[in-house]
Structures are given as structure tokens and as C-alpha cells.
Structure 1
Amino acid sequence: MNPTDPASGQPDRLSDPAETPSTAPAGVGLADSRTDSSRVAAFASTRGRYYAVVLALFCCILLISNIAATKVIGFGPIVTDGGAFLFPIAYILGDVISEVYGFAAARKAVITGFAMQLLATAVFFLVQVSPPGPGYENQDAFEAVIGFYPRIVLASMLGYVVGQLLNSFVLVRIKRAMGEKRLWVRLLTSTGVGEAADTVIFCTVAFAGVIPGWDFLGYVIFGFVYKVAVEVILMPVTYRVIKVFKKHEHTYSVDTDLARRAARV
């Protein structure tokens, strides 16, 4: 049994040498990189057993949320869109990826999600402009919903690229400064920064001129408060998921980060 830090869930071990990248150039060892310990943190390799699963789930949530976001929803004075039901989970998954696998892995997830959004937009456009077959009488309804999708995708991609990259960058920088302690600080801080940028960009591009006046301002404010509230409410779940990932990803160690740094020398 490996001893475990109860605060972070990080196994108190170095990674298996067979699973740790060994790409350091000749003459540059892992021990040489330890001198800059203030900038070193524990991460796992993206070749680990779970990264591909989280990446796939991340992309699915983005696609589903953007389709759902084509509908504006009103609960009394509260105005939002259908993406509100699922999209906050994308930021929780972004936190998991950033905390466990690092900024480069989060950037890869953002780029992959971006590519999947473009693919979905292209396919929906081709379906929309294709002539309806015999017996299909819902072309106008289909165009009314999917025809708005490119604007949603543009808004989502701009907001999500800026927001997710900021979210990951802030989280990883705080982790490098504070180590494994106070996970809640980096989760809340990174989410607050990322969601603020994402919400303002998305709402402005997607619904400026569609939702009128003060309703639009309320839409922006509610969107930000709601997404951060979901992060806070689900933080115990996020903690548990991150702890499980750190425990079962065998490359999760400081040596993985050191090897990555050595490979860039």
C-alpha cells in the first residue's frame, strides 16, 4: 500500500519508470530539474488510462450543450438558455483535466472540442441545405432550430476557448505556487475567471439583439452566477473525482512534470 496525502488524494510515490516519459536529452536528468521546485507540480501523463475517456465526455458535453443552447428559456424573471443544464459540467471536467494532467492536456482538450464543434456545424449545414425527402414535412422547423446553430457555435467557440484556457492556466499556475494543498482555492478562482470571460463572450455573440434590454443584462449575470454556483455545489463530487484519478493514474507524480520540462530543454 502506498501512503496517501488525505488532503489531496495524491499517492505518496514516484511514478513507475516504465510509464513515465523518458525523453530527457542526454546530460539532463530529472534531478537536475528539481532545483526549480517552486514551478514543479505533480501531473499525470495523457497516455494514462482515463484521459481519453474524460476527453470524449468533455467533447460530448460541449456538442450537446450547444444544440440545447439554441432555445432561450424563461423561468419567471430568470432568462437563460438550454445549455445551462449541462454546460457547467464542462468546466468541472476542465478542472479535472487541468488538475490531474496539466495545462498542455487541457489545451489539447480545448482544441479537440473546437474541432468537433466545427465538424458538427459543417454536418448540420449540409443536412439543412439538402432537399427534404418524400414525406418529410419539418424542413422549416429544422431550419428554425439548426439555422441558429452556427451563431451559437461561433459564440460558444469564442467563449469556450478563451474561458477554458484561462480556467486551466489559472488553475495550473496556482497549483505550481501552492502545491497539492487548498484545491478548493484553485477550483473556485480558476472557474470564476474562466466562467466570467466565457459568459460575457458567449452571451454577447449569441444573443445580443435577440434578448432585449435589461433581460439581456439579467441573462449575462444569471449565467455567470449559476455556473459558479454549480461548481460550488458539486465541489465535493469534483474533489472525489480528482482524488480517484490521482490515485489510479499511475504516472501521477512530480517526475512526470520534470520529464516534460526536461524534454523541452
Structure 2
Amino acid sequence: MTEEAPAHSGRPGTPTPALKANFATISSPYYPVLMAVFVGIMLISNIAATKGVGLFGGSLVTDGAFFLFPLSYVIGDVISEVYGFKAMRRTIWTGFAILLLASLSFTVTIALPPLDGYENQAALEAVAGAVPQLVAASLAGYLIGEFTNSWVLVRMKEHTGERHLWARLIGSTVAGEFFDTMVFCAIAAPVIGVTTWGQFASFVLIGFVWKTLIEIVVMPGTYAAVRYLKRAEPSYAQSETTA
């Protein structure tokens, strides 16, 4: 059945062409997913990090995000290696904005008057109330660490080309994690219960060594992801051809 033209068209009964819906094209099906995973890891880590953790009877001090946060550097390495510093910079700033939004949301939620009979206000404040300072710690370390990580990896790649990926992954992680860990620990330590210099030294050392070891342990997976994306992204193959 044909669609009738509006009466004001002057030609009642004349079929009119269907309206066309326009949409922007997605240049890469992979990059947005990597960005979403990266931002998700950062957001979850900032909540999990509100808990101070004492491993082996408290002799090793860390936070609740120790098992997850290192993966953000793995994802950052993949994005930097395949898509370059500009794409990683966009990812970092997106994560920065989401973490600020999370901090603001928790602050507003805590400030809202609780419903009569709501018994978890104190628990909410104890957990979510610490998040803003941890976000500040994370953002400061995050910006310095992630930008350093990406910058070092890309600069090394400019000198080595496609060779020695392992050196880029380890070298960039050591540089980025060093600054990230030092800045984050210095700001976050009081929030998670680190009160002595011995605990602080353990907090910093464990964080730095652990995150670097995670990079090495998962390197086969990083290699596989990088190899797959370089083959799957038409623009990467084109850049290799025209280089």
C-alpha cells in the first residue's frame, strides 16, 4: 500500500518516497570495545580499591583492586600498539571523565536524605565515601602512568618498527607503572588504612612488582590480541602497505 502525500503538497494521492534514516559509520568494530573494557576496569578498580588488603597475615599490603587493575595496562598496550598514541589519549580522557562522574554520583547519593528505615547509610558512606579521594589518587597516577606507558611504547615502536614487541610491552609498563604506583600509593594510603612507613613501602613495592609481573605473565595473550587486531583492522594493513 502506497503512502499518501500530505494534503498541503498540492498533489493528493501522489506516492512520496520513504524517508531515509542516516547514521554515522563506525570506522572500527574493535576499538570501541577495547575502550569500554578499559574504562570498565578503571571504574571497578576504583571501587574495589577502597578495601585495604593484608596478604600473608598482613605482611604484604595492597588494595582490593590488585588482581584487576593491571589489566588496564594490558589493554592500554594493545590500544597504543595497534591504534597509536592519539587513540590511547582519547581512551585515557574518556576514562578520566567517567571516573569523575562516578565520584560525583557517589557524593550526591551519600548527601541525599535517606528514606526512613534505611539502615545502610553508614555502610554506604564507609565504602562509597572513600571513593572520591581514591578517585583523586587514581586519576593523578592514572594520567601520569597511562600517558607515560603509551608514550614510551609508541616512541619505542617508532625506532623498532614491528620488531621487539616484548621490549615495548615490558619497557612501557615498567615506566608507566612506576609513576602510577608512586603517585597512587602516596595519595590513597591513608584511605585504605596504611599508617606506617613499612606498610607504605610494602604497598608501593608490591603494587609495582605485581603489576609488572602481570604484564609478563599475560604477554602471550597480549601478543595474540595484537596479532589478531593487526590482521583484522583494514586500516592497519593499509598503513603497513603505504609505509
Question: Residue type matched to 1:97 in 2?
Answer: I
Pairing 1:171-210 to 2, within 5 Å after superposition: 171-208=153-190, 210=193
Superposed CA RMSD in Å reads 1.7
Q: For 2:47 and 2:237, how far apart are their aligned partners in 1?
A: 38
Q: Equivalent pairs: percent with the same residue? A: 47
Which residue pairs with 2:47 in the alignment? 67
Runs of 5+ consecutive residues of structure 2 not aligned to the other structure: 1-25
Q: C-alpha displacement at 1:47, in angstroms?
A: 2.8
- The more displaced of 94-103 and 131-140 is 131-140
Q: 1:124 to 1:208 in 2, by over 3 A?
A: closer
User: TM-score, length-normalised on structure 2?
Assistant: 0.85
Cα 1:258–1:103 shift into 2, 3 Å: farther
Q: Distance in 2 between matches of 1:257 and 1:88?
A: 34
1:250 aligns with 2:234: yes
- Where does residue 157 of structure 1 map in the other structure? 139
Pick aligned residue for 2:87 from 91, 99, 105: 105
Q: Say if 2:130 is the partner of 1:140.
A: no
Distance 1:257 1:135, change over 3 A: farther
Give the conservation status (yes or no) of the 8 Å contact 1:48–1:250: no
Distance 1:256 1:106, change over 3 A: farther
- Amino acid of the residue matched to residue 132 of structure 1? P
Deviation string, structure 1 residues 201-221 (Cα, Å, up to 9, x no partner)? 000011158412201111100
Output aligned runs, 1:1-265, within 5 Å: 47-76=27-56, 77-208=59-190, 210-211=193-194, 212-253=196-237, 255=239
For 2:241 and 2:100, the matched residues in 1 are separated by 32
Q: Which segments of structure 1 move beyond 2 Å, counting only runs of 4 or more?
A: 253-259
Aligned residues: 214
- The structural deviation recorded for 1:48 is 1.5
1: CA distance between counterparts of 2:138 and 2:39? 13
- Choose 209-218 or 164-173, whichever is displaced more: 209-218
Offset, 1:69: 0.2
Decide which structure has the larger Cα Rg and report it. 2
C-alpha change, 1:69 and 1:182, in structure 2 (3 Å) is same
Segments of 5+ residues of structure 1 without an aligned counterpart are 1-45, 260-265
Displacement of 1:108 = 0.4
**TM-score of the pair, normalised by structure 1:** 0.78
Partners of 1:168 and 1:257 in 2: how far apart?
Answer: 24
What do the CA deviations read for 1:116-137 (whole angstroms, capped 9, x no partner)?
A: 0010011111100011113310
